[in-house]
Amino acid sequence: MTDDLDFAPNNNQSEDIATAVALEHFARYGYDETRLDTIAQESAISKRMIHYYFGDKQGLYVRALQLAIKLLRPLPQAMELDSTVPVDAVVKVVEAIVDQMASHPMAVRMVVLENLFGHANMKNATPLADQSSIVLQLDKILMLGQDSGAFRPGVSALDVYAIISSMSMFRVTNPATFANLYATDLRSEDNTAGMKRLVVDAVLSFLTSNMQPHGAMSYLVQENHADRDSSIYDES
């Protein structure tokens, strides 16, 4: 039913299949309309085993959300740099992130719905997943570019990732209205490729512009997670 099955680990196949099926249902129908009976049937396991694996519906939802975030994170080898030229390095990583998000629209929908309705109760909870691979790679590239004078200062990895993710998610969240208002199918093959070029060019233009420094190391301010005690998320 979903290509997300290919990304499930093999240590517990039934549990992983149920998580992938749940992702599809939560993303397509929302939390309230998703039924555990249906997920159990499509996963070929009993409802009792779903409760055994996940505790309750919210537990299954959180695991599906974790899977969604994992699916939107490029594999490390996709972001490996084959050039020390800052511009080339940025293009490589930006394209990897855009391609990953384009390949998993249901994962994007899942993340968007959580941000709209908040069924996972993420406030003051520990982070859902470890995103350090993306942040560290972008940090490395920005440092390379800023030290060489190719990129302007005052831009952080999170700033860049905010641009990439918001533009990449747009084609999943807005296709119907964009097609109706502007006669443009964001999900067509041509426009998928065009959107990738647009994201790459937007990031490069942002990094290489001659705008005056704004006096800070980053546009976005990151919070400290050290004081978060809740641990409803047991996997990265």
CB hemisphere CA count around 184 (13 angstroms): 12
Q: Is residue 226 part of a domain?
A: no
Q: How many residues does the chain have?
A: 236
Same domain, 95 and 210: yes
Same domain, 18 and 102: no
Total domains in the chain come to 2
Last residue of a domain, one of 72, 90, 122: 72
9-35 pLDDT tens trace: 444 899 999 999 999 999 999 999 999
Closest CA to 106 of 74, 68, 162, 61: 68
Cβ–Cβ under 8 Å, residues 127 and 223:
no
90-115 pLDDT tens trace: 999 999 999 999 999 999 999 999 99
Rounded Cα–Cα distance for residues 186 and 163 (Å): 18
pTM over 0.85: yes
User: What percent of the chain is predicted at pLDDT more than 70?
Assistant: 90
Last residue of a domain, one of 55, 72, 89: 72
The CATH number assigned to the domain holding 214 equals 1.10.357.10
Last residue of a domain, one of 38, 72, 106: 72
Tokens 């999943």 sit on residue: 172
Domain ranges, residue 50:
9-72
The CATH number assigned to the domain holding 42 equals 1.10.10.60
Same domain, 83 and 173: yes
Q: Is residue 209 part of a domain?
A: yes
Rounded Cα–Cα distance for residues 132 and 151 (Å): 22
Same domain, 126 and 211: yes
